[in-house]
Structure 1
Amino acid sequence: MKTFTPKPNDLSHEWYVIDATDVVLGRLATTAATLLRGKNKPTFAPHADGGNNVIIINADKIALTGNKLGKNLYQHSGFPGGLRADSYGELLEKNPERMIRAAVKGMLPKNRLAKVQLNRLRIYRGDQHPHASQNPAVYEIAQVSQQAK
């Protein structure tokens, strides 16, 4: 049996929308990373960009388990003294998009292809998004947070 190598004509980029209401952050990030890489397709190849476009809505209604509200997300500007630490509790109120993007970025491979795949991720706070003309398919995450039940 020969190894399948996808050609540029074999690669397609579908659109998916994920509702993040009461979904645990890690479960959402793994699902989004799988879709961004294109691992749900039979034509998956780790070196080819066959990923999908992913839209995450209701980012402000995401669930965090355990004691993660006090955990910090660090960012450095590159300048001396430029370390910035924001707690997940603050980020959930002010900028939940940054928290989700950091979680998804950590689950993508550490190579040049990851930047291209991460650019296909779009995150919105509310349930409205401007990508309705692409007719995104709804991707349902069946298991929601136990605390939300």
Structure 2
Amino acid sequence: MTSKTFRLSGKSMSRSWCLIDAEGKPLGRVASEAAKLLLGKHKPNYEPFLPMGDFVVIINTDEIIVTGTKTRDKTYYRHSGYPGGLRARSFAEQMKRDSTKVVEQAIKGMLPHNARGRELFRHLNVYSGSDHPHQAQLNEGTGERAKKRIRQEVNVATDVSESTEVLKSDESNIVNGDRLTGSLNKYKRAELDLEAKRVGIDILPGWKKGDVVSAINEYYDQYPQISED
């Protein structure tokens, strides 16, 4: 029997807030780091079709740097839409006018040029100085999002500990190393959680029995020599 590929669902996603200080850093390095965080490619469970990236706050864009002669040679163009409406500014001129636009344009070019890219771009917050209104989200343990995520993690840990007590008097239907087949009804959620914990699988908030079974079977397929012990 072939196994199903485990796919992360939208309910299991968790986002955090990341701060990038652009002071003294090259423009390209800041933009590439921010784009990676917005896309979520730094996460081990990255899915290209899910908006699972983090929220990004960039500060001190006035102090960002470029190498070589880009200060003089790099040009930003815009057009009014009317004949003769082409306008151009050098990098130095644009930095004096609004340095946040320089960073935003660099990051926007590294995101997908479609609806998903536009959605991810809304998770970006750029500020020319060091002051920003997102300190509550950035501080771990503060803000509603962080508190909700912590509560979910505590609930998952509590469920696993309670599952241990439940299974002390019950016989498990899981044989270590054998793939989980058949109806889900013959497996108790408690024994599934214990087996996932035994093989080192982190149970994400919102996972159902089918998600846990798929993750365990995927582990068995990937590490057969370990699961047969």
Q: Quick check: TM above 0.5? A: yes
Asked if the contact 2:19–2:138 (Cα under 8 Å) also holds between the matched residues in 1, the reply is no
Matched, 1:73 2:93: no
1:75-131 C-alpha deviation (Å, 9 max, x unpaired) = 233343332211100112221111101100111122210001111111111111101
Asked if the contact 1:14–1:136 (Cα under 8 Å) also holds between the matched residues in 2, the reply is no
User: 1:4 & 1:62 partners in 2: Cα distance?
Assistant: 41
- Give matches, 1:74-93, under 5 Å: 74-93=77-96
Which among 104, 108, 117 is matched to residue 105 of structure 1? 108
Range with bigger deviation, 128-137 or 56-65: 128-137
Q: Check 1:88–1:10 CA distance in 2 against 1; reply closer, same or farther (3 A cut).
A: same
**SS state at 2:116 partner:** helix
Greater share of strand residues, 1 or 2?
A: 1
Larger Rg: 2
**1:120 aligned partner:** 123
Matched, 1:25 2:32: no
User: 1:115 & 1:82 partners in 2: Cα distance?
Assistant: 26
Matched, 1:47 2:80: no
**1:60 aligned partner:** 62
Asked if the contact 1:36–1:53 (Cα under 8 Å) also holds between the matched residues in 2, the reply is yes
Q: Which has the higher contact order (CA 8 A, sep 6+)?
A: 1
Asked if the contact 1:10–1:43 (Cα under 8 Å) also holds between the matched residues in 2, the reply is no
Output the TM-score relative to the length of structure 1.
0.85
User: 2:104 & 2:139 partners in 1: Cα distance?
Assistant: 20
**SS state at 2:11 partner:** coil
Q: Check 1:78–1:2 CA distance in 2 against 1; reply closer, same or farther (3 A cut).
A: farther
Deviation, 1:33, is 0.2
Considering only aligned residues, what root-mean-square deviation do their CA atoms show, in Å? 1.6
Deviation, 1:47, is 1.1
**Which sections of structure 1, spanning at least 5 residues, go unmatched?**
138-149
User: 1:74 & 1:47 partners in 2: Cα distance?
Assistant: 32
**SS state at 1:9 partner:** helix
The residue identity in structure 2 corresponding to 1:78 is: G
**2:13 aligned partner:** 11
**1:37 aligned partner:** 39
Deviation, 1:2, is 4.8
1:20-40 C-alpha deviation (Å, 9 max, x unpaired) = 011000011000000000111
Greater share of helix residues, 1 or 2?
A: 2
The residue identity in structure 1 corresponding to 2:108 is: K
